[in-house]
Amino acid sequence: MAGMQPRSSEITDERTFMRRRGFIKAAGAIAAGAVASRALAADSAVATNTSAERRILVHEGEVLHSQATPPWLVPKLREAVPGNFSTNESATPYEYVSQYNNFYEFGTDKGDPVENARDFNSEPWTLEVTGEADRTGKFNLEDILKPHALEERIYRLRCVEAWSMVVPWIGFPLADLIRRFEPNSNAKFVRFETLFDPQQMPGQRSRFTAIDYPYVEGLRIDEAVNELAFVAIGLYGRSLPPQNGAPLRLVVPWKYGFKSIKSIARISFLRERPKTTWELSNSREYGFYANVNPEVDHPRWSQGSERRLPGSLFSRSRTETLMFNGYAPQVAHLYTGMNLKRNF
Ligand code: MTE
């Protein structure tokens, strides 16, 4: 149970990793001819749609996405508009966002999810809502999404392993979803659970798992309805690739990435604080709050700085880590009077 850690191979740097991925593609090119040469030419092409009222980041190269977008979702994605709170830092190229992943259900190496989630079937999808709310039950994803207008939010994503990305998500505020289930006054916490389906998720069948499944995350209710908490159903203008948590995931940009739970199948409103996956795995190293905090180091490494992906040949792109990942103006008030060293 070593838990999450930046392995030395990852620290070495992600360029080695991408070169290896590039090599895999190049090997494919020899076998597949024209198709693969198109794949190689598409390296990190990012286009911006510049029609007057919208500038959504769209990836126009080869799409590392094994699933077709369900027809009902296509027009919704097209109508997405730029939302608030987007950073103007450069977005991490799609090739990194979709190939350098943490999704233990599909393997623990960064390159495993894109390979092993290829056939993941997320259509149709049922979301179950339980607990302290007036509207509970099982809902079809299409019905869940129907009333929500989509927006793009370009957020920083800071992993507890001290690397970071900038991702153009498509989705809607978590607060808007929560409101529809009408949680009652006993609902103090929200618990989220990833699909449990060992047949589709090889990590869940493995006897050597670092964590227990299903993957569970949680937020205090006031955190969950904060304006930054986001439900993502897409990125780079398209539906979410399976490796990024299709068909819907959480994005909590002021917290370490492990709070941003993928492929959510159940949401529960609770009186008590839920036990969460990484906390259960190693409570000395991973807390419930997991707010990005450069002043509270992980027991095995510093959280004072981070490696922004992608690095270049000449620069390791180390940048200082910001309190609450730079989102203090929106969220610091949630933690007034709390000892953040103890409640890490
Ligand atoms: N959700 C589930 N179900 N399983 C996981 O292993 N990994 C988390 C989070 N959500 C994880 C998960 C971690 S550690 C990070 S950093 C982010 O997903 C990574 O999201 P990305 O792969 O889309 O960048």
Indicate the fold that domain 8-335 takes in CATH: Sulfite Oxidase; Chain A, domain 2 (3.90.420)
Max Cα–Cα distance, the chain, nearest Å:
62
Indicate the angle between helix axes 14-32 and 34-41, nearest 10 degrees.
150
- Does the Cβ of 151 fall within 6 Å of ligand 1? no
Mutate-to-test residue for ligand 1 from 10, 167, 258, 292, highest number of ligand atoms within 8 A of CB: 258
* pTM across the whole model: 0.89
Among 234, 223, 231, smallest CA distance to 264 is for 231
User: In whole angstroms, how large is the CA radius of gyration of the chain?
Assistant: 19
**What SS3 state is found at 55?**
coil
Residue 265 phi, psi (nearest 5): -115, -20
**Is 110 touching ligand 1 by the criterion CB < 6 Å?**
no
Residue 149 burial by Cβ neighbours in a 10 Å radius (0-12, 13-18, 19+): exposed
Q: State if residue 204 touches ligand 1 by the CB under 6 angstroms criterion.
A: no
Q: Are 174 and 251 in contact (CB under 8 A)?
A: no
Q: Give me the numbers of helices (H) and strands (E) for the chain, helices first please.
A: 11, 15
Q: How far is CA 224 from CA 50, 72, 208, 241, in A?
A: 33, 27, 33, 24
Going from the Cα of 50 to the center of ligand 1, the distance in angstroms, rounded, reads 31
| Measured CA distances, 174 to 83, 233, 327 (Å) | 14, 12, 17
Instruction: Report CA(105)–ligand 1 centroid distance (Å).
Output: 10
Q: Where are the domains of the chain?
A: 8-335
260 lines ligand 1 (CB under 6 A): yes
Residue 93 Cβ inside 6 Å of ligand 1? The answer reads no
- Residue 54 CA to its chain's centroid (Å): 24
Question: Own/partner pairs for 332-336, CB < 8 Å, 24+ apart?
Answer: 334/220, 334/222, 334/223, 334/226, 335/289, 335/291
* Pocket flag, ligand 1, residue 213 (CB < 6 Å): no
Provide the residue-wise pLDDT of the chain in tens; the chain has 344 residues: 346 766 554 444 555 556 555 534 444 433 333 332 222 222 333 444 444 445 799 987 777 888 889 999 999 999 999 999 999 999 999 999 999 999 999 999 999 999 999 999 999 999 999 999 999 999 999 999 999 999 999 999 999 999 999 999 999 999 999 999 999 999 999 999 999 999 999 999 988 888 999 999 999 999 999 999 999 999 999 999 999 999 999 999 999 999 999 999 999 999 999 999 999 999 999 999 999 999 999 999 999 999 999 887 677 789 999 999 999 999 999 999 999 999 99
Query: Measured between alpha carbons, how far is 19 from 21 in angstroms, rounded to an integer?
Result: 5
Residue identifier of the C-alpha nearest atom 12 of ligand 1: 261
Question: How many A from CA of 103 to the centre of ligand 1?
Answer: 5
The answer, yes or no, to whether any atom of ligand 1 lies below 6 A from the CB of 252, is no
Measure 52 CA to ligand 1 centroid, in angstroms: 35
- In short, whether 215's Cβ falls inside 6 Å of ligand 1 is yes
